[in-house]
Structure 1
């Protein structure tokens, strides 16, 4: 009865609005490609060689439009129960609560609210992405944050050989279902700065 009352209430909680699953999909963090420079150890009295080590970090992405290549992102996901239980009797996820993520969508927007695809921002993209989150574990996976074709089309293609930088916000939504078939989703955001940084 309490659940029915909550669903009928005019101001539903965020948990109620997101679906009927007792499990909640949570984005722990979204990371973007980054390069860390490390000094490799040389011999005695010999300076070490500095080499770039590719990786990922939390923070804005500086995306180079020349040469045209896509950019990947990395996400860390976990699940929580909407009803955590009572003090001293904490609820724990069961196999039926396991969440299988099956895809994602990336939509781009400007901070000023303009978001016309192909004019103000790149076209949105959808992709397949399958991981299953069991219990209290976390899972990590990579996904396409910016596809190569986006850098061959407006508004990114005109940025080549220019000093203009286009800053957008990418809203990334991951979606899937628990093992009972209830739909779940979670959305996170990351800033992307597009420009011809190699010129």
Structure 2
């Protein structure tokens, strides 16, 4: 009888221990109940008008002085936070809101020439601080092309022109954050960039 009681206690204790580990708040930090969505990415054309692409001038020349300047290019992302469960038992709370913290940009060419620093610019990270509440949208601006990238190949090579005139590159933008419970989220979007030494007016 004593052995039977001991076995019963052990059988009860093991599931209890497993349940304790399953409820560990430190575990599964990446499984947020909220998802971050990039609803739209926009850049500008060479005239400065909003577009669903970016025309990037690799150098600007002052018509009067001949002075050359290079500038970074920015883009705008429209972000939305949404619950994974479309019909949750409990309504969304502030803990479901997402705090966006950083982003990364990487470049790619469709022709397969993707040597960094030769065929495409170097990838980079940037930091953000924006809160996105559930079912709300927020526009954030961020640097898509750094000025330093225009002083290095392959963009530097466009300064004196190239045979095809325009270098077409796709930018992949990963945006990272965490809900207010500390669980991480990520959203990915793409924007086409047309690099060239455009005529300065």
Q: Shorter-chain TM-score: what band?
A: 0.7 to 0.9
1:21 matched to 2:18? The reply is no
Is the CA contact 1:66–1:198 (under 8 Å) kept in the aligned structure 2? no
CA drift of 1:96 comes to: 0.8
Is the CA contact 2:100–2:129 (under 8 Å) kept in the aligned structure 1? yes
Provide the rounded CA distance (Å) in 2 between the counterparts of 1:157 and 1:115.
Answer: 16
Is the CA contact 1:101–1:132 (under 8 Å) kept in the aligned structure 2? yes
Secondary structure at the aligned position of 1:160 is classed as: helix
Provide the rounded CA distance (Å) in 2 between the counterparts of 1:60 and 1:118.
Answer: 22
Q: Counterpart in 2 of 1:106? A: 105
The answer for unaligned runs of 5 or more in structure 2 is 1-28, 61-69
Larger Rg: 2
Is the CA contact 2:172–2:188 (under 8 Å) kept in the aligned structure 1? yes
Q: Counterpart in 1 of 2:77? A: 75
Q: Counterpart in 1 of 2:172? A: 171
Provide the rounded CA distance (Å) in 2 between the counterparts of 1:128 and 1:55.
Answer: 26
Q: Counterpart in 2 of 1:48? A: none
Q: How does 1:1-199 map to 2 (within 5 A)?
A: 19-34=30-45, 54-57=48-51, 59-67=52-60, 68-85=70-87, 92-163=91-162, 164-198=165-199
Provide the rounded CA distance (Å) in 2 between the counterparts of 1:33 and 1:157.
Answer: 21
Is the CA contact 1:93–1:136 (under 8 Å) kept in the aligned structure 2? no
Provide the rounded CA distance (Å) in 2 between the counterparts of 1:117 and 1:73.
Answer: 22
Secondary structure at the aligned position of 1:85 is classed as: coil
CA drift of 1:191 comes to: 0.4
Q: Deviations over 1:167-192 (max 9, x none)?
A: 00000010010011111000000000
CA drift of 1:35 comes to: 6.6
CA drift of 1:92 comes to: 3.9
Q: Deviations over 1:55-111 (max 9, x none)?
A: 533x2211111122110000100111111117xx7x642111000000100000001
Q: Counting helix residues as a fraction of each chain, which structure ranks higher?
A: 2
Q: Counting strand residues as a fraction of each chain, which structure ranks higher?
A: 1
Is the CA contact 2:44–2:53 (under 8 Å) kept in the aligned structure 1? no
Provide the rounded CA distance (Å) in 2 between the counterparts of 1:100 and 1:180.
Answer: 10
Is the CA contact 1:31–1:75 (under 8 Å) kept in the aligned structure 2? yes
Is the CA contact 2:83–2:134 (under 8 Å) kept in the aligned structure 1? no
User: Please, what TM-score do these two structures have when normalized by structure 2?
Assistant: 0.74
Q: Counterpart in 2 of 1:6? A: none
Provide the rounded CA distance (Å) in 1 between the counterparts of 2:92 and 2:151.
Answer: 45
